[in-house]
Amino acid sequence: MVPKYKRVLLKLSGEALMGDKSFGFDNAVIAQYAKDIKSIAELGVQVAIVIGGGNIYRGMNEAETGIERAHGDYMGMLATVINGMAMQAGLEKIGVYTRLQSAIKMEQIAEPYIRRRAIRHVEKGRVVIFGAGTGNPYFTTDTAGSLRAIEINAEVILKGTRVDGIYTADPEKDPTARKFETITFQECISKNLRVMDMTAFTLCMENQLPIIVFDMNRPGNLLRVVRGEKVGTLVRD
């Protein structure tokens, strides 16, 4: 079957890698994600990935920790590289060729981020994992995901979460919450629906880059999304 999308950026949260744990990684979650990513790579889909770092380090209140915001953000960037290495190991274990690129130079473990090289890797069928966010403090990994997707000319951002789309309210707290199958960028803003942080969201809106929010924890969902099936919520112009 011909996939609907040829080049995608998959955005994952660091917390998702924890599974039921309170810190670090759940090997079963990484193995499932790797298997799902392999299934779309085998269809010929070109895949890039951005992973958050919240399972290792989240920006904490400066007043409580004494760690200034910029310093804490750099700590978070290093956490995303650790997560990238974990996902890289999970993918390579099942025979998927990968490249880890970092926005902060660390030559022993990752290539420096170079846009043209990243595009060449995905064209050759390698899964590229982008680590260390944008390389700058005050920007989230959502923003890094939007920026990298635009830079490599991805057709869509696939935001893998633990819920199966965007709802009128938090479905875990409000049983009457209604799911959107499609929604526009402007509707998300007017309804104050927090799909991504506003910087990341605005980047996507200005560059007409659609976002699909879906449940990554359900095996096979990623494959269904790239086939064009109605999974999750599509955010578009």
pLDDT score recorded for residue 61: 64
Nearest C-alpha neighbor of 201 from the set 164, 165, 151, 236: 236
Give the separation between CA 169 and CA 171, rounded to whole angstroms.
Answer: 6
Those residues with Cβ within 8 angstroms of residue 139's Cβ, 6 or more apart along the chain or in another chain: 73, 133, 199
Report whether pLDDT(64) > 90.
Answer: no
How many percent of the chain have pLDDT more than 70? 98
pLDDT single digits (tens) 1-52: 789 999 999 999 999 999 999 899 999 999 999 999 999 999 999 999 999 9
- Compute CA distances 131 → 25, 87, 192, 216, whole Å: 17, 11, 29, 20
Domains of the chain, start order: 7-236 (3.40.1160.10)
Q: Do 31 and 89 contact (CB within 8 A), yes or no?
A: no
Give the separation between CA 217 and CA 226, rounded to whole angstroms.
Answer: 16
pTM for this entry: 0.95
Q: Give me the long-range contacts of 223-226 (CB less than 8 A, separation at least 24).
A: 223/36, 223/39, 223/40, 223/43, 225/158, 226/3, 226/4, 226/5, 226/8, 226/40, 226/43, 226/45, 226/158
Q: Do 37 and 128 contact (CB within 8 A), yes or no?
A: no
Report whether pLDDT(203) > 90.
Answer: yes
Q: Considering just the CA atoms, what is the radius of gyration of the chain in Å? A: 17
pLDDT single digits (tens) 122-176: 999 999 999 999 999 999 999 999 999 999 999 999 999 988 999 998 888 898 9
